[in-house]
Structure 1
């Protein structure tokens, strides 16, 4: 059982950087960076956003594996169109931020309650992340988690589901917390960063959205049997980057990621104490 849990944990970690959806990770981080700045709430904002994205991601995978699998034949050919649409939306959001505007999403409203400031929007983003990733990451999820549930091992299946979610959330939380702390540190030290950081986030969002849309178009060309898609230079370069990220996550392993998360939380705690007036 321990080996199966470790396998599910690793599969969840690699699911965060799967070939179909890995470009959505920097897009997610860009949305986090572009959100309302609150130095005292950097840790809560990052972890809440990471939890929202993870929940949206694994719930879509769970629903697909348990309830929607019979519709897979109908749904799979239509997923690339959803990927293209998601990419276009991200490009538009990136252009909006580059123009110096704030994203008009209720989840990022400064007047929203603290716990909901990023949860709803990130849960929706996690669901979109999962839909874009189904083609590449659903097979390990089905093999590891759903097989146990369908075999009647409910307790083991739920434990594996939790391990998969923990692996996904661990990668996302470390990235989110690191980026949030860097962002708030820059804004606190450099007055110009308050206006510059959202525009840089818009640029990252623009590039990530452009790639996501291109990947969806690539999948549509593959489905149509077009041979030029097999030699797409954009996909080839991105595949090399994705493999490097996946290999790095696999080499690091869950223990190092947990240590990194604990270190970042300690840094945030020490920084918060240092900012307190004496």
Structure 2
């Protein structure tokens, strides 16, 4: 039964509270709107920065239209270095060559000469790594119009390249051909076994020469010398100085070898090219 006031007007019933699900939906919609507004603000900021950078770059391009691009200012100088070192190694070749119609006999004859000679070289302190043999066998022919080509025999040649590190043994080595009957002897050459230290010293001289030239050139041009931009080097041809003097006994090599030897020296030359950056006095 409906309630009525004393004047018989109906009394309104109190309104019921809204359901909880409706309140949650409203809160979710409000949070989503806030997130969207933040994202839009972030995008707007990045878009503003992008447009600003693009405009600045376009302005820079416009500023340099019709102007040449500024080139890096450099100059290059060359330097040379030369170091002389004393020769410390000698090389010579000793061998024996013979022929026989029987190739086995030719080999045996050759071995009788070269085997004891090789043994004597080792007894003088010449190491295995400093001995290199060149052994060949080939037929030799005679030719006549009547008989045509006729086999004369087989030539056996055994040459040994000898590297002498102890230069006091040079005379003894050169005396061996006459002692054992070797019939092939080459000239004697002197050189430096390891030139790396000489190259390093020559390189330092070349760099010092280049730097001195660069400083003088910068002073003459009225500019400031900057850092090194590039560097290159090359080794110039080094001419070894062979023995300057070599005197033999009256009977030649067969009489016991040379009595006086000058080993000489060798030059090592290095060249460098250095490119320096330079600055004007105002911009430095």
- Pairwise TM-score range, normalised by the shorter structure: under 0.3
Greater fraction of residues in helix: 1
- State the TM-score, normalizing by the size of structure 1: 0.19
Which structure is higher in RCO with an 8 Å CA cutoff and minimum separation 6?
1
In the superposition, the TM-score normalised over structure 2's length comes to 0.19
Q: Highest Rg: 1 or 2?
A: 2
Query: Normalized per residue, which structure has more strand?
Result: 2
